[in-house]
Amino acid sequence: MSNIRVAQRSHGVGHWAVMLLALVIGALGVVLIGGGVWLITLEGSWYYAIAGAGLLITAILLARRQMAALYVYLLVWIGTLGWAYWEVGFDWWAQVPRVVAPTVLLIFVLLATPALGNRYRATVHEVPA
């Protein structure tokens, strides 16, 4: 008998947690894009449309379980910090509503990283010769 490596999809708890996170981040991205485009037409901030696009890209990469999702979200988070500083400076109480939710999402994306980049788990099955 010979051993043959067969790739199987891993659909454990980690898979479903990442899919749920992708769904939540994707929904937030769509909402931010919609509101951001509306603000742009009113000659308002471009931040929301850009951040929404970043969230949507992050969600797609999470759904594909690619590590690039972390890097894209880090860019969104750093951009958010920059935008928040530009808007209100170092006023702590004005910063809180601008940075807490994105930071919580960052924590969830960081927690998801062990499940990223590992879409298939190779297992060995014995196949009769």
The per-residue pLDDT for range 47-103, each reduced to its tens digit, is 999 999 999 999 999 999 999 999 999 999 999 999 999 999 999 899 999 999 999
pLDDT, position 123 = 46
pLDDT at 28 over 80: yes
pLDDT value for 9: 56
Total count of domains within the chain = 1
Reported confidence tier of residue 104, pLDDT bands at 50, 70, 90: very high
Q: Enumerate residues 6+ apart whose C-beta is below 8 A from 7.
A: 120, 121, 122
Report H helices in the chain. 13-41, 47-63, 68-88, 92-112
Domain extent, residue 78, equals: 2-127
Residue 15 has what pLDDT?
85
The answer, yes or no, to whether residue 122 has pLDDT greater than 50, is: no
Q: Is the pLDDT of residue 43 over 60?
A: yes
What per-residue confidence (pLDDT) applies to 100? Answer: 96
For residue 124, what pLDDT is reported?
46
The DSSP H or E segment spanning 97 is helix 92-112
| Side chain identity, residue 57 | I
> Can you tell me the mean pLDDT for 3-9?
52
